[in-house]
Amino acid sequence: MRLILMRHGETDWNAESRLQGQDNSSLSPRGIEQVRRFRAFLKALNPARVVSSDLGRTRQTAELIGHGTCPSDPRLREWDMGSWTGRTKPELIAAHADLYHAWRAGEYTPEGSEPWETFRARVAEGLRHWLAAGQGDLLAVVHGGVIRAALHAFLDIGPSRVIPVTPGTGTILNFRPGAWQTAQLEGYNIGAVVPDLSVAD
């Protein structure tokens, strides 16, 4: 069974390299185009079921791919970034490079933020619930941090070992039916765009 993890299209805050966490901004014109271009991949993959995070940017993405009425799950929300929410990636690296890279590796928790292990467990619980809830391949419209958490939970690939997830792309994990603890990696950053290494996490 495939779990297709789609990152929402670029938002206005993504375009500014600004960390969003559980705050929200709308998809940018570029983000809307990214999502529209990804629809051909989804048509080929033809998932049987769809779920999304309950945040606005993922709901907007789900609407654009023709699944605006799919269920949403708050367990699939982005990582709560606490006091770093709204700050830009270049600003944080300039001021706190060591802390930024430790945070990106899941080893530092900004004030008011969700610890990485708590976040990873939340995401894994939500995805396992939806994998077990029905038959056929599952598409989850989510966030970059959620995809990194899934890779850590199901493949034991830590967040420091993966490049950023490009908006409007898909990551595919393959599970044996009924065996939701571990998976095989089928694809990462799949889409009609060149992976963007500078995108905000």
Kindly list the catalytic residues: 8, 78
Separation of alpha carbons 48 and 46, rounded Å? 6
Separation of alpha carbons 2 and 46, rounded Å? 10
The tokens for 34 are 């990214």
Q: Taking the CB of residue 72, how many other CB atoms lie within 10 A of it?
A: 16
Whether the CB-CB separation of 167 and 194 falls below 8 Å is answered with no
Give Cβ neighbours of residue 97 (< 8 Å, ≥ 6 apart): none
Could you tell me where the DSSP H helices lie in the chain?
A: 12-15, 29-45, 56-64, 89-104, 116-132, 144-155
